[in-house]
Amino acid sequence: MKTYFRLLSFAKPIEKYAIPYIICTVITVVFGTLNLALLAPLLQVLFKGTGDDQLAPVEMTEKPSGIDDIGGWFTYYADKLYYDIGPYEALKYVCIVIVTSVFLSNLFRYFSQRIMENLRIHTLLNLRKSVFDNVMDLHLGYFTNSRKGDVMSKIASDVQVVQFSVTSTLQVAFKEPLQLVAYIVVLFAFSAKLTLFSLAVIPVSAFFISKIVKKLREQAREGQQSYANMISYLDEALSGVKIIKAFNAVPFVKDRFNGESEHYSKIMRRMVRRQQMSSPVSELLGVLMVAVILMYGGSLVLSGEGDLKASEFITYIAVFSQVMRPAKALTDAFSSIHNGIAAGERVLGLIDERSAVTNRDNAIAVSEFKEGIRFKGVNFAYGDKRILSEINLDIPKGKTVALVGPSGGGKSTLVDLIPRFMDVTGGAILFDGVDIRDLKQESLRALIGTVNQESILFNDTIFNNIAFAKTDASAEEVERAAKIANAHDFIVKTEHGYHTNIGDRGAKLSGGQRQRICIARAVLRNPPIMLLDEATSALDTESEKLVQDSLYKLMENRTTVVIAHRLSTIQNADKIVVIEAGHIVEEGNHQELIAKQGLYKRLIDMQQFAD
């Protein structure tokens, strides 16, 4: 229940919805119960009106002595109407009261459902917002180690399950017990002896139904995990469709997705079968119980030993037949909460996932870059795996620093530490002499522009992809940025110019065009610091020259950190830093490093950085 109450906290402020809901529900239950109780006076009038019913009394019923005798009061007023205004007029009055009661019951039931729907939507928004906000605040390492489809299923599917199960259970937890109590009160008012006998039978039904839903929670958790796997396979298939086709891996991908889909379907079939079984079983048990009550109560009425009249006994049976409805609803609620808690545990796990990057309590905003960036004894590790060790490096303002070295040496990790995509696990990075952990992340990142090896674009227009860095940018500003990035000429040749949609991840553009759009986006932001992570590594020679030219323009009068493996990108850098196995092994300009005849020279000789 700890998980359930934590999930329920996302419904706050719950009193805004709970108070009107309780009022409407109480009115609904009162009039809903009254609808059935009014069968007694209706039948009483009809029995009297036949004239040949031997069970009908020949004299007016005496006025009840206590307020708890609901059946007696109904019979008394039915008799009074019968003798005062006649059978037909009495029947009309009883029918008017029944219709009014039904109208009020349904009206307030509608109001309560509206209120509960508002609570459901309110809870969904709060929960989904909390999950998504926390996911976006997580460090990059989390996404490296997690499957995107699993995260997507938690945000989309699991949150939906939690929302319905928690709010529906909340609804049932108040209304159905109240309705059940109301029915039992009416049954006791009609006949205490018969009701005590009836209540002894109800636990038998509850026992059998509880057996049906016992394994639902385990099945729900298994189903949610299978759904997450299926979404992951789908995302991977759509993202890598070109490679899949190139390697003739379509049958493998189909089999993997369809196999998981079949597994998920089997789980869902078992769950639905178990859930659906509760309805016919409970209905059968309900009919059996009514039959038992009918036989026992009927014998009391026929023998004259009971305290029920014929009209009251029929009404009693009608009310008792409804007792199983709220009882079944409560059972279904327990089934629903099993599903909700299983999904909730996965969702809360995502909310509880802590980021390795957090703002300190006294974090300050920074608005300008004055001196430079300094790495002092920086260490970084993913768990037990150390990536960087004792990095000491100065990046002066206005200078270009290139990072080179064998793959997996830690170059990208070092660059990711500057905008605080992750935080150091040892040492410190100083920004104008201030530990960057003492700076607000948003203000720090506002001074940094990034162009990556992978062109990150959105399924939108060229204009909106460039203006992503500055949403209020004018058309002139966007066009000027595109010209600096050597992108304007190809943009105007597209179907709709700057308003051409580029497809999913920029699929309608070539690699060089995508990269120049990303550079234009960085130019528009106009940051004092630029981070370039192998921005030309995946391009052909012609595209590289265009992109390289735009990069040179971008790097002018800026502090730039470049990760590259081509000589054309780094030979003019003010400083070249060679990183191997998480350590800085060499440092200097191009000519100095060539003269050292060290790792840099060997890399050049192996043409890993050649044009």
Residue 36: band (very low, low, confident or very high) from pLDDT cuts 50, 70, 90: confident
- The answer to whether the pTM exceeds 0.95 is no
Checking 160-164 for CB contacts under 8 A at 24+ apart, the result is: 160/124, 161/220, 161/224, 161/339, 161/340, 161/343, 162/7, 162/127, 162/340, 162/343, 162/344, 162/347, 163/120, 163/123, 163/124, 163/127, 164/120, 164/336, 164/340
pLDDT on residue 63:
65
Q: What is the mean pLDDT of residues 546-554?
A: 73
Q: Is pLDDT at 266 greater than 70 in this prediction?
A: yes
Kindly report the CA angle at 272 between 114 and 261, in degrees rounded to 5?
Answer: 110
Q: What is the mean pLDDT of residues 588-601?
A: 89
- Candidate ranges 66-75, 96-105, 274-283; pick with highest mean pLDDT: 96-105
Q: Is pLDDT at 274 greater than 80 in this prediction?
A: no
Q: Is pLDDT at 168 greater than 50 in this prediction?
A: yes
Range from 8-17, 346-355, 557-566 carrying the lowest mean pLDDT = 346-355
Residue 307: band (very low, low, confident or very high) from pLDDT cuts 50, 70, 90: low
Contact call for residues 197 and 296 (beta carbons, < 8 A): yes
CA distance 585 to 579: 6
Q: Is pLDDT at 465 greater than 70 in this prediction?
A: yes
Percent of the chain surpassing pLDDT 90? 12
Checking 321-325 for CB contacts under 8 A at 24+ apart, the result is: 321/286, 321/290, 322/36, 322/183, 323/180, 323/183, 323/184, 323/187, 323/198, 323/202, 324/202, 324/205, 324/282, 324/283, 324/285, 324/286, 324/289, 325/179
Range from 290-304, 329-343, 441-455, 576-590 carrying the lowest mean pLDDT = 329-343
Q: What would the pLDDT profile of 40-52 be if each residue is shown by its tens digit?
A: 666 665 555 544 4
Q: What is the mean pLDDT of residues 384-398?
A: 91
pLDDT on residue 273:
74
CATH of domain 455-526: 3.40.50.300
Residue 54: band (very low, low, confident or very high) from pLDDT cuts 50, 70, 90: very low
Q: Is pLDDT at 107 greater than 60 in this prediction?
A: yes
pLDDT on residue 471:
79
pLDDT on residue 58:
46
CA distance 179 to 177: 5
Q: What is the mean pLDDT of residues 77-88?
A: 68
pLDDT on residue 610:
45
pLDDT on residue 568:
59
Q: What would the pLDDT profile of 187-241 be if each residue is shown by its tens digit?
A: 887 777 787 877 776 666 666 666 655 566 566 667 777 877 888 788 778 776 7
pLDDT on residue 204:
65
Q: Is pLDDT at 11 greater than 80 in this prediction?
A: no
pLDDT on residue 322:
76
pLDDT on residue 580:
92
Range from 18-22, 277-281, 404-408, 418-422 carrying the lowest mean pLDDT = 277-281
Cα separations in angstroms, 154 against 124, 125, 147, 159, 169: 13, 14, 11, 6, 20
Q: What would the pLDDT profile of 325-342 be if each residue is shown by its tens digit?
A: 776 666 666 666 666 776
Q: Is pLDDT at 57 greater than 60 in this prediction?
A: no
pLDDT on residue 418:
92
**In the chain, domain spans:** 2-352, 455-526
Q: Is pLDDT at 600 greater than 70 in this prediction?
A: yes
pLDDT on residue 241:
72
Q: What would the pLDDT profile of 116-164 be if each residue is shown by its tens digit?
A: 888 888 888 888 888 888 887 777 767 766 777 777 777 777 777 777 7
pLDDT on residue 577:
94
The larger pLDDT score, comparing residue 602 to residue 360, is at 602
pLDDT on residue 544:
65
Give 288-356 as a 3 state SS string: HHHHHHHHHHHHHHHHCCCCCCHHHHHHHHHHHHHHHHHHHHHHHHHHHHHHHHHHHHHHHHHHHCCCC
Q: Is pLDDT at 53 greater than 50 in this prediction?
A: no
Q: Is pLDDT at 260 greater than 80 in this prediction?
A: yes
Tokens representing 463?
A: 């204009």
Percent of the chain surpassing pLDDT 70? 74
Q: Is pLDDT at 532 greater than 70 in this prediction?
A: yes
Q: What would the pLDDT profile of 494-517 be if each residue is shown by its tens digit?
A: 889 999 998 877 888 888 888 888
pLDDT on residue 279:
62
Instruction: Give the rounded distance of the alpha carbon of 550 from its chain centre.
Output: 41
> How would CATH label the architecture of 2-352?
Up-down Bundle (1.20)
What integer best gives the mean pLDDT of the chain?
78
Residue 56: band (very low, low, confident or very high) from pLDDT cuts 50, 70, 90: very low
pLDDT on residue 341:
72
